[in-house]
Structure 1
Amino acid sequence: MIDPIQFIHEQRQHILQTYQELHLLAEPSWKEEKTSTYIREKLLQAGVSVQTYDGHFGLVAEIEGEKQDVIAIRADMDALVQEVDGVVKANHSCGHDAHSTMVLVTALALAQRNQPFTHTIRFIFQPAEEKAAGAQQMMEDGALTNVKFLGGIHLRPSIEVPFEKAAPVILHGSTASVKGVIKGIPAHAARPEEGNNPIEAASLLIQAVSQIRLRENGRYSIKMTELHSGESSNSIPETARFTLDLRSESNGTMEKLIDMAQHTIGTIAELTETEIKYSIEEYSPAAVKHPRAMGLAQHAIADILEEENVESPCVSPGAEDFHFYTLKNPDLAATMIGLGCDLTPGLHHPNMQFNQEALIYGSKILTKLLLLADTKQW
């Protein structure tokens, strides 16, 4: 019988090459065609069944077990679109190429084992994480059918999790954007009394949201991050376009923030006699701790990296659409592992880099995680 962990150890150069090839295939959300094709071909060559979908490039691979109950891990495939050295392009600065590499390697390693698994093992490769939409699309397509346990992994900056260490959970916060347009009345700047300046309404909105206070213990914030209005120096514009950025440590607090934002916008619209149309966009839920899933991840990390290299839960100010899986399925045992990898200068920085040796022990951790999960009753 081939040991999957030993298989990964022996495949080091191939794993690094796989990462380098996926890195060069950087594609934006909903356009991950080459990435999806690459992953699908590797899985099919290893004899792993693959399901694709109409309308997007997400895919699901499975190794059939003795039971229909499923244990699964998920990877994201898309890249950011950002300016790099003066050129706007798709760029893997969030580590999704690394995540896809590790989940693919885990699938290939477990496919080598001759002994049958108790549970069916599923590998979810999802699109559009950067749009906070891929997880919901995969759920609509049935990717979580019969799933009892779900694992994930994400590279972490060196200031959060040190190299050769890992955290059993990443506690991402919740984020949302309120995007709106304030409609006033245009006029000549010499006759302001004939108009209604939307910029003045926007300034009142900035002040009002800065005064929002909630009786919550956790951290939260609401602030204006975009404001665009006017095209000339001698005219009062008709509209002002704005974005409010909302962040909180919990989903409950985010609900209250959204309610307060909506109430404040309505108050400013009435006070200034302007029309303000808006929508809630780019919403991502906060992580919810699942003690049993965290315990399993801690066991897997300790087995691969030793007990002293298990980090405390990683608290991140960022967001992750992985948590839609648990928001929509509250009984699902799930956790996302934070992988220390000497990542600098930071996630989403156009020049992000990390120590690629982390791909080897990250793949081993994910493989051990599924092997352990297969021994449990879910």
Structure 2
Amino acid sequence: MKNVQALYQSSEILEKASELKEQLIAWRRDFHQHPELGFEEVRTAEIVARHLEQLGLEVKRGVGRTGVTAVLRGKEPGPTIGLRADMDALPIQDQKQVEYRSHVSGKMHACGHDAHTSILMGTAQFLTQMRRPERGTIKFIFQPAEEGLGGAQAMIEDGVLSDPQVDAIAGLHVFPFVPVGRITAVRGIGCAASDSIQIRIIGRGGHAAYPHMTVDAIAVSAEVISALQHIASRNVDPLDSVVITIGSIHGGTARNVIAPEVVLEGTVRTLNPELREQMPERIERVIKGITEALGATYEFTYHMGYPSVKNDDAMVDLVLKASEQVLGAGKYEIVKPSMGGEDFSYYTHKIPGVFFRLGVGNKEKNAVYPLHHPQFDLDEDALPIGVAMLAEVAHLFLQNNP
């Protein structure tokens, strides 16, 4: 085998990673057939842990409840980089007609975490079997419960960024609107803060034929929903991004009964941390004004969810350089931030980090559906690219940092 330095100086690194392709596909399809929701990833975590132990790594189970970590140490002391993958699935019914579709009713890997887990397993094998790093340490982080349950925070509270102390972290996310063979990244804020709201509009119910004797909670809620959009269009600087979406409405029991109350649930996405802090007051001011004007009352709950992902410029540069090493020149693009939420943000608020997108789109293989879609799938040719990218980012970080 050629030495590791030579491999890292050409696209031969991708050729080497491609030797793992069949195994990567097998892992990914197995996870896809057996999806587990957040903090339920017992089977997935056991498969991951056994593989890491077989590689001879220092493995810890039960980190952040169902997470797994493994440590690969170099010959000499040096910095530590963390590489993270999330393992949980979504409560979505798989509608694909493929042999590896989900075997679990109402659960599906619709966000590609099966691929993330497989890629990081492959990265651990790739780096271990090629040659341990000359100096420094790589910590593999297999995280539970990214989909709204804050698994990253649970792992941090369980000490995932210590013993050894992690100096920087990298992660990737498959993306179907980027073709296979390409990488995208964002400088600065990469993903939005993701918060949730619940609004209870309290009116006075009655007969549909006598609306003047009631306070129609459904009519009031319609005004509230409409007015909330004015925050984004007329109350916030157009150069600041904010999304307010009401995704759930529950109220009423019959066509001829005016509903006494309605419960609205939604999400608020922001990129600017200062604007995020202002949103609870701005939203409640709208609700208060409309309900008072129309004779209703309200209850309002604002829950701060994931903060925004902060990509470190130096770490982004490593991703771009890694892309050139793995895929050749011109295979990456710096793009605008996403309004999607991602709990990788908890890591980037603690240490420098980078979260980049791995292209998995391919019309010929029907890999065209968006994330969280019941027919989401990906081009598995991207799996060894993910391995090569994470391995090269880790190598460059350990090489370039004292």
TM-score scaled by length of structure 1? 0.90
CA deviations on 1:226-252 (whole Å, 9 max, x unpaired) are 221111233333321102332233333
Please, which runs of 5 or more residues in structure 2 have no aligned partner?
A: 8-12, 97-103, 362-366
Aligned to 2:37: 28
Aligned partners of 1:77 and 1:100 also within 8 Å: yes
> Is the CA contact 1:132–1:320 (under 8 Å) kept in the aligned structure 2?
no
- Pick from 131, 137, 148: which aligns with 1:131? 148
- 1:296 aligned onto 2:296: no
Structure 1 residue identity aligned to 2:146: E
1:334 to 350, 353, 364: 353
Tell me if structure 2 keeps the 8 A contact 1:132–1:282.
no
- The Cα shift of 1:92 comes to 0.9
Asked if the contact 1:227/1:240 (under 8 Å) is kept, the reply is: yes
Alignment pair present for 1:13 and 2:22: yes
- TM-score, normalised by the number of residues in structure 2: 0.85
Q: 1:352 to 1:284 in 2, by over 3 A?
A: same
Partner amino acid for 2:242? Answer: Y
Q: Name the residue aligned to 2:388.
A: 364
Q: 1:184 aligns with which of 199, 203, 207?
A: 203
Q: Please state whether the residue corresponding to 1:150 is helix, strand or coil.
A: strand
Aligned partners of 1:80 and 1:93 also within 8 Å: yes
**Alpha-carbon offset, residue 353 of structure 1:** 1.7
Which residue type is aligned with residue 183 of structure 2? A
Return the alpha-carbon distance in structure 2 between the equivalents of residues 242 and 339 of structure 1.
35
Q: In structure 2, do the counterparts of structure 1 residues 205 and 102 end up closer, same or farther at CA, with 3 Å as the change threshold?
A: same
Question: SS at 1:147's partner residue?
Answer: coil
Aligned sequence identity (%)? 28
* 8 Å Cα contact 2:184/2:356 also seen in 1: yes
CA deviations on 1:224-279 (whole Å, 9 max, x unpaired) are 33221111233333321102332233333333333311222233344344342232
Provide the C-alpha distance between the structure 2 equivalents of 1:68 and 1:60, rounded to a whole number of angstroms. 19
Out of 95, 102, 117, the residue aligned to residue 100 of structure 1 is 117
1:256 counterpart residue number: 278
- Name the amino acid aligned to 1:67: P
SS in 2 for 1:374: helix
Q: List aligned pairs for 1:61-76, cutoff 5 A.
A: 61-65=70-74, 66-67=76-77, 69-76=79-86
Equivalent AA in structure 1 for residue 393 of structure 2:
L
SS of alignment partner, residue 375 of structure 1: helix
- The count of corresponding residues between Structure 1 and Structure 2 is 373
Paired residues for 1:311-350 under 5 Å: 311-313=333-335, 315-327=337-349, 329=350, 332-342=351-361, 343-350=367-374
Map 1:104-119 → 2, pairs under 5 A: 104-119=121-136
Q: Is the 8 A contact 1:155 1:338 kept in 2?
A: yes
Cα distance, 1:58–1:199 mapped onto 2, change above 3 Å: same
What is aligned with 2:55?
A: 46
Separation (CA, whole Å) in 2 of partners of 1:166 and 1:198: 48
* Contact 2:95 2:375 survives alignment (8 Å): no
Q: What residue is the counterpart of 1:80 in the other structure?
A: 90
Kept after mapping to 1: 8 A contact 2:250/2:264? yes
Unaligned runs of 5+ in 1: none
